[in-house]
């Protein structure tokens, strides 16, 4: 059968090297000719930000960061950037920090240099997200794609094991969703498969030895691949569910993705056998869900939405909020009954069976 597909690859500079973040950032600032740099980093990451920016001149250090990028936080950061005449944004941290930088870039057009400290992957996508009145809105805009990403596995060592696991599984969810998202194609499926392989190799190493840079490099490499695949393939059923849950009920981003993933995989895999086979092969398993289950057990991953702040009485409302966003291209039709069953299982942590 002949191959027919349309694929877009986003243009982005990637600098990867453990212990090289500060020197790579200084080189990027010099290369761009930036004179007024705004560094965005959460307060708790201030020591990391100080180390990474030691060789550049900073016009504004900004730490008013919050999960899911509340619109008020975005507008405040936009004003600060304008008042200080900023010409380059440098974000150092996880998805919330990158998300705030994107919110500023979306209205200002300012370039971003992203320095991730987690495996969120937002740094490699042109997807933005904002939360207003407990509703999270996402969109796509090339203006928010960071011009450069600086990866340094040494910066992730301070990330606790449980957050490393959740963040890594969030990246793995990007890979799985990319197998059947609206713009899935053979190129992003290949990237996603390699991302699954790298993450499933790196995360157990981190679990066993948090200081092991080789494991963290594999996880960071896998996270990048997952994000590139996701940016090309688009947002599938898994991400639509998690974005609604996170925005409406203020659930922690990475843990929500880590918890919901096995349920979406179990739901979609029977209707997408070729994708499921690729996922299984990437895990080194005969079965996609079985491979994910073994990895999650190995990592002691989050298992139930009830443990991260989701209330059972919100399931009916959540189903109503999520259903309109499920892509028509999802491998298996989704209705109120099936989505309710999925959320009830994810809420309780029951074995995913569909």
pLDDT in tens, 145-173: 999 999 999 999 988 999 999 999 999 99
| Burial (CB count <10 Å: 0-12, 13-18, 19+), residue 139 | exposed
| Burial (CB count <10 Å: 0-12, 13-18, 19+), residue 4 | exposed
Inter-axis angle of helices 161-178 and 237-249, to 10 degrees? 140
Contacts of 112 (CB under 8 A, 6+ apart): 88, 89, 90, 91, 98, 101, 102, 105, 144, 145, 146, 147, 148
Residue 317, both tokens: 């409302």
pLDDT in tens, 259-311: 999 999 999 999 999 999 999 999 999 999 999 999 999 999 999 999 999 99
The predicted pLDDT at position 16 comes to 98
CA distance 299 to 228: 24
Q: Judging by DSSP bridges, how do beta strands 127-132 and 135-140 pair with one another?
A: antiparallel
The predicted pLDDT at position 8 comes to 84
Low-confidence stretches of the chain (pLDDT < 70) are 1
The predicted pLDDT at position 133 comes to 84
Fold of 13-156: Rossmann fold (3.40.50)
Residue pair 48/158 in contact by the 8 Å Cβ criterion: yes
Contacts of 164 (CB under 8 A, 6+ apart): 118, 119, 156, 203, 206, 207, 210, 219
CA distance 14 to 148: 6
User: Domain 161-348, what architecture?
Assistant: Up-down Bundle (1.20)
pLDDT in tens, 61-80: 999 999 889 999 999 999 99
Q: Which helix (H) or strand (E) holds 160?
A: none
Kindly report, as residue ranges, where domains of CATH 3.40.50.1970 are found in the chain: 13-156
Contacts of 163 (CB under 8 A, 6+ apart): 118, 254
Residue pair 62/92 in contact by the 8 Å Cβ criterion: no
The predicted pLDDT at position 1 comes to 55
Residue identified by tokens 């937002």 is 122
Kindly report, as residue ranges, where domains of CATH 1.20.1090.10 are found in the chain: 161-348
Specify the pTM: 0.91
């Amino acid at each position: 059968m002949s191959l027919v597909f349309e694929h877009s690859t986003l243009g982005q500079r990637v600098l990867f090297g453990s212990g090289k973040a500060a020197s790579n950032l200084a080189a990027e600032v010099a290369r761009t000719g930036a004179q007024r740099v705004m560094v965005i980093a959460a307060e708790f990451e201030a020591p990391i930000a100080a180390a990474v920016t030691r060789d550049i001149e900073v016009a504004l250090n900004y730490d008013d960061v919050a999960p899911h990028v509340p619109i008020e936080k975005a507008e405040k950061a936009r004003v600060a950037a304008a008042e200080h005449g900023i010409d380059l944004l440098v974000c150092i941290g996880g998805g919330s920090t990158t998300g705030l930088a994107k919110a500023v870039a979306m209205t200002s057009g300012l370039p971003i240099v992203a320095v991730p400290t987690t495996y969120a992957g937002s740094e490699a996508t042109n997807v933005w997200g904002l939360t207003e009145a407990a509703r999270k809105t996402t969109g796509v805009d090339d203006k928010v794609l960071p011009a450069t990403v600086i990866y340094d596995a040494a910066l992730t060592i301070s990330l606790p094991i449980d957050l490393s696991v959740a963040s890594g599984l969030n990246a793995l969810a990007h890979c799985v969703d990319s197998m059947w998202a609206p713009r899935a194609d053979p190129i992003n499926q290949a990237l996603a498969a390699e991302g699954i392989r790298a993450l499933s190799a790196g995360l157990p190493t981190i679990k066993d030895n948090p200081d092991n840079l080789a494991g963290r490099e594999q996880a960071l490499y896998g996270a990048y691949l997952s994000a590139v695949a996701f940016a090309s393939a688009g947002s599938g059923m898994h991400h639509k569910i998690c974005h609604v849950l996170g925005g409406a009920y203020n659930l922690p981003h990475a843990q929500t993705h880590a918890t919901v993933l096995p349920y979406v995989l179990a739901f979609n895999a029977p209707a997408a056998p070729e994708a499921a086979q690729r996922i299984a092969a990437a895990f080194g398993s005969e079965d996609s869900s079985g491979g994910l289950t073994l990895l999650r057990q190995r990592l002691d991953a989050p298992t139930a939405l009830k443990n991260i702040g989701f209330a059972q009485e919100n399931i009916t409302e959540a189903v109503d909020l999520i259903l309109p966003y499920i892509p028509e291209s999802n491998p298996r039709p989704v209705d109120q009954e099936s989505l309710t069953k999925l959320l009830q299982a994810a809420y309780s942590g029951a074995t995913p069976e569909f």
